[in-house]
Each structure stands twice: as structure tokens, then as C-alpha cells.
Chains A and B, each alone.
Chain A
């Protein structure tokens, strides 16, 4: 069969895989942002032991490959009695790792805000909450956006790892089609096109959004 015919035949299956990849991305992103926030709060807070735990967590989870985390979430936890479905094992592993990255991005975003800004807000009589909400966070967010969006496009690519535990994402569909058709290059190229189109689309959208946020403030 010609390459184009094959592509036409398999495209629906691939797009169904893409939907799974995106669901995985969304769920992992939510978990990562929540975990990142907790890590920042713990590391900048006053409770020593929490700060130490958070620092240790970041050191360890940044050094261990995501695939090892994935197998741990899927196989090891199951052995220990917690049987996660593949999809959720993927969410946990990706969230646990990307949480450390988002935590660091948030922290450096906060640090990038000039101390004079906090001082000026305090001198105006703003409460601690208002200083954060109205002055520090809006500026930290701007600094957080570029690394944050970069992390997001890496997260999407890393969802492809769930192929190894049988989650039917885009990569899984491509692999299955490659085996079924004996034309692996054609099938992987199609998957590549879908991933790449999505990557370009997303990075354009995110870049435009960043530009908008920046423009609105100058």
C-alpha cells in the first residue's frame, strides 16, 4: 500500500492516541503545578524540616530518569499493594518529576522580582497578602512563563514514555501500526508529523500569549 493510503487509514487511530497523550499532559501538568507550588512554599517557608524534605525531594527526583519513576509507579507500587492503571501511573511519574522543574521555575520567578518592589508595596501599607497578590506574583508570573512553557512542551514529548506500560497514547498507536504494516518508517513519520505539528502549534500559541502578556504591560 502506498504511504499516503496507509496514513489515511491510520490517521484516526493516531488522533485518538493524541487525545490520550493530551489528557495525560493535562493531568500531569495539574499535578506538577500543584506539587511545584507546595515545594516552593516548603522551601521558602520557616519550617526547617519541611524545607529540608522539599530540597531532598527535588535533588532525588531530578536525578532519577522519568522512565524509572514510571516503572516504579506502575510495577513497584503494584507489588507494594497500590495498583495504579497505566494512565494514572503515567500522571504520577510525570507529575512527580515535572513538579520539581516547575517548583524551581516558580522559585526563580519569585526571586527575579526586585526587592524594591516588595519594599515599595509594604511602604504603601499593603497587607502581606496584597503585596503578594498585587505586586510580587504578577511580576513573578512574567518571569515564570518562558521556562514554564518550555517545560510544558517537554512534558508533552515525555508522555510518549507510557508506551512502555501499554497506555494507548500516540506513540503506542504508532508502534502498533509499525508492527502491523511492516512499514515502520512510514508510521513513525506520521506520528512525527502529528507530534511536530502539535509542538509547533503549541509553541506558537504559547509564544503569542507570552508576547501579549508582556505587551499589555509596557
Chain B
């Protein structure tokens, strides 16, 4: 079991000043596992996945990503460790955060060229291949401003994939998108899962979680209140806290009729945590 653990989290505790966001979170993510992190707004989901690539330092506990370990408390990790972890962990943000002064292609080429000294021509070929795989070959020379939200998010995913990460983190990748664009981004993520990429994804798209995730983690009130196989957790939650959360989320979902999480009703009813 332990040999194929890609991310191992033990006793993770995070505070912002005096305020504890979450405490003593432990769990493991195995190779090719898809983990969906759900929970009410403000539960600490974003903060949690940002700890994994050390965008946020944390106060206690430890996170091991493959051979590299981050330890809470003490000082910051060594530069080499940080570099390794960030190269092995890709991330897509809720607000895309594409670099506006670079084209779609430039965004995807930047990482390998800067961190791995990959020659431009090689980086370009790889970036084009990635953009083609998400159906954006013809948008390669466009600047982010000219791309739709859905296109921007797909470029952002390519930018992360260009680093050949072992794990991908997604922080509500579709909550800033207009309903008709949610499907194209979820489709891209679904493709990654099918290729065996390890994914940790914060989402409000319950239907998608049910279909694609192996494991669901429910965060609320600064804790993990429930974790288990996706279908079990989503259909028969055992904890009171996840039951109340899920009924509140799923009610409007069912009311929307088609039960398609990517349908227009679903996203608007659920909303996202807008930053």
C-alpha cells in the first residue's frame, strides 16, 4: 500500500494568526487516485490544497510528496525541496491566473524553459501538443484577454501539465465559468483521470465528483468530517455534518431536473466561493 502513495499528509494544522483554519488533518493519496474535496464555503478547502505545494506555510504536521517532505512549524523548507515539490505538483486556480503579457503558447512554454532549461523549440512543440490535446491549437497565439473563461482554464491546465507533474491540484476550476463552459473544462479533467493522473480537486460539482472521483473528502468546521469512496459518501453520508451539507447542496441539484452537474442550473444554484 505504502509504495504507491503519492501524497501523504499527517496531522496537518493551519492557522492564520490566531485563527485556526483546520487542525490535525491526515490522509493519503495513491497513484492514479482522484480525490474530490468538498465542503461549505470557508471550510478551508483552498487553504488545504495550497499547503500541498507550499503556497501556504503551515503550523504543524507534515506533507510528503513522493520523496520530498514538508514539515510544519520550523523554518521554511530548503529551496531544492520546494523546487522539486512544485515541479511535481501542478495547480490550476479558480481564477486561472494566466500571465496576461504572454500568449496561450507563451504561458504553457514558460515553466519548462525557466525551470528545466528546455530549449524553446522543444518547449514550443510540447506546448502545442498539449494545447492541441485540449482542442486549443488554433488559439495558441491568442493573449489571455482574448480567450473565454473556459479556454483560459484549459490553457492554465496545459501550463501546469507542461511540467510533467505527478499530481495535479485543482481549486474549484469551474466555479468562475459561465455554465456553458463548465463542461469543456470538466471534460479535460476527466481525460486526465482516464490517463491515470493523480488528481486532488476542490469542487462543488457533485455529479462530476460522483462519476470521476475515487475518494471524497468532506471538510467542515476546520476538520475532515468524512472521507471514503465517492459514491458511498455522496449517497449515504454517515456524519451529521456532511449530511446537512450534502442535502443543502444536492437539493437544488435535483430540483434543477436533469441531475447533470455541468448543467446550467447546477452551477448557478451551487455557486462557488468567489474570491
Q: Do chains A and B touch in the complex (CB under 8 A)?
A: yes
Point out residues on A near B: beta carbons under 8 Å.
Answer: 114, 116-117, 119-127, 130, 134-135, 138-139, 142, 217-218
Which chain A residues border B253 with CB–CB below 8 Å?
none
- A sample of 26 inter-chain contacts (CB < 8 A) reads A117-B99, A119-B55, A119-B93, A120-B97, A120-B99, A120-B159, A123-B53, A123-B89, A123-B91, A124-B86, A124-B110, A124-B115, A124-B163, A125-B111, A125-B115, A126-B110, A126-B114, A127-B83, A127-B114, A127-B115, A130-B114, A134-B114, A135-B99, A135-B110, A217-B143, A218-B143
> Which label, helix, strand, loop or mixed, suits the secondary structure of the A interface?
helix
A178 to B261, CA, bound (A): 81
A130 to B110, CA, bound (A): 10
- Kindly list the 5 A-B residue pairs having the minimum CB-CB distance in the complex, ordered from nearest: A125-B86, A120-B97, A116-B97, A124-B111, A125-B87
A134 to B111, CA, bound (A): 10
Contact B86 A122 (CB under 8 A): yes
Which chain A residues border B53 with CB–CB below 8 Å?
123
- B19 interface contact, C-beta 8 A: no
Closest to A118 in B: B97
CB within 8 Å of A: which B95-117 residues? 95, 97-101, 110-111, 114-115
CB within 8 Å of A: which B135-153 residues? 143, 145-146
A108 to B99, CA, bound (A): 19
Starting from the known contacts A116-B95, A126-B111, A139-B99, 6 additional A-B residue pairs (CB-CB under 8 Å) come to: A119-B55, A124-B86, A124-B114, A125-B86, A127-B114, A218-B146
**Assuming the A-B contacts A123-B53, A218-B145, are A116 and B99 also in contact, with contact meaning beta carbons closer than 8 angstroms in the complex?**
no
Contact B145 A125 (CB under 8 A): no
In the complex, what's the smallest C-beta–C-beta distance from B149 to chain A, in angstroms?
Answer: 15
A126 to B159, CA, bound (A): 13
Which chain A residues border B93 with CB–CB below 8 Å?
116, 119-120
- B160 interface contact, C-beta 8 A: yes
Across the interface, A123 reaches (CB within 8 A) one of B86, B99, B100, B101, namely B86
Across the interface, B159 reaches (CB within 8 A) one of A116, A124, A130, A138, namely A124
A122 to B115, CA, bound (A): 11
In the complex, what's the smallest C-beta–C-beta distance from B43 to chain A, in angstroms?
Answer: 20
Point out residues on B near A: beta carbons under 8 Å.
Answer: 53, 55, 79, 83, 86-87, 89-91, 93, 95, 97-101, 110-111, 114-115, 143, 145-146, 156, 159-160, 163
Which chain B residues border A114 with CB–CB below 8 Å?
97
Closest to A133 in B: B114
A138 to B102, CA, bound (A): 10
A156 to B199, CA, bound (A): 58
In the complex, what's the smallest C-beta–C-beta distance from A115 to chain B, in angstroms?
Answer: 9
Across the interface, B55 reaches (CB within 8 A) one of A117, A123, A138, A139, namely A123
Contact B101 A138 (CB under 8 A): yes
In the complex, what's the smallest C-beta–C-beta distance from A120 to chain B, in angstroms?
Answer: 4
In the complex, what's the smallest C-beta–C-beta distance from B150 to chain A, in angstroms?
Answer: 18
In the complex, what's the smallest C-beta–C-beta distance from A8 to chain B, in angstroms?
Answer: 49
Which chain B residues border A121 with CB–CB below 8 Å?
99
A212 to B255, CA, bound (A): 51
A139 to B99, CA, bound (A): 9
A135 to B97, CA, bound (A): 11
Contact A139 B97 (CB under 8 A): no
A217 to B143, CA, bound (A): 7
Which chain B residues border A123 with CB–CB below 8 Å?
53, 55, 86, 89-91, 160
Closest to A116 in B: B97
In the complex, what's the smallest C-beta–C-beta distance from A85 to chain B, in angstroms?
Answer: 43
